[in-house]
Amino acid sequence: MDFDLIRTAGQVRFLGVPPEVHETLGSTNDEAFRRAQEGAPEGLVVLAGHQTSGKGRLGRTWFDQPGRSLMFSILLRPKLPLPSYPLLSLALASSAAWIASDMVDGVAIKWPNDVLCHGRKLCGVLAESRALRAGDPPVLVLGVGMNVNYRQRDFPEEIWERATSLSIASGEEEIEMGWILSGMLQHFAGLLSAAYQDGPEALRDLLRPQLPAPGSRVKITVGDRSVEGELIELTDTGALRVRDARTGVVETVTAGVMQ
């Protein structure tokens, strides 16, 4: 694992909680849930230099080579209504985009939880929630995988055209991951604070500028169908309201892939 990352992680206190650093894990999300079951506090960050069973959205796997990705999960016990949990995933993607934009241009959020650089995937956020005990509100785990020090030839051939890294995009040979972790967590802490103090509507308003402007034409694939039309708004549950171009009906899309 990158020495700078280990040193920085040792100094980080997200929500006042020290992180847990692992050389290798099956999945940082799974480890965060295991620690939650043991009573770990909100704000625990589980960091790994390599995942052997990393997970992406929709049951996909997350590709990584040891030491070239920034991979961690955050344990939250959100002080928000359960329907608004997806906003927190979008907020973490926003924080990843914010820190990446400090190094490279062409960075954009792809709703609901990807970060692209010039149209290629740079970072993904995986949100999972579980009720650990009957009657308790679900805990939320947000997992991050950011491609940092990959060269193009490091990616599997089948994703060459769809993936990039900070190293590729910036032209840098090697990038220190410690400050990326620290900056991303600091930014996310600010968004989380706004949500906890002023409610999901406040967080929604902070995130709206990160998405296509109202009135933009968007296409969202939902399972085996797609919704294409005018973007109306981002809701306080993290959903998108879209006016279908064919029918004129405004549909609230809670999950899917924006194209």
Do 154 and 166 contact (CB within 8 A), yes or no?
A: no
**DSSP label at residue 137:** P
What is the pLDDT, as a whole number, of residue 68? 86
Averaged pLDDT for residues 186-206: 97
- Greatest CA span in the chain, whole angstroms? 56
What is the pLDDT, as a whole number, of residue 161? 85
d(CA 129, CA 84): 12
Distances (CA, A) of 233 to 87, 94, 162, 211, 215: 13, 17, 28, 10, 9
Q: Is the pLDDT of residue 247 over 80?
A: yes
Averaged pLDDT for residues 134-145: 93
Q: Tokens 């999960």 — which residue?
A: 73
What's the pTM? 0.91
3-state secondary structure of 31: helix
Residue 115 vs residue 134, higher pLDDT: 115
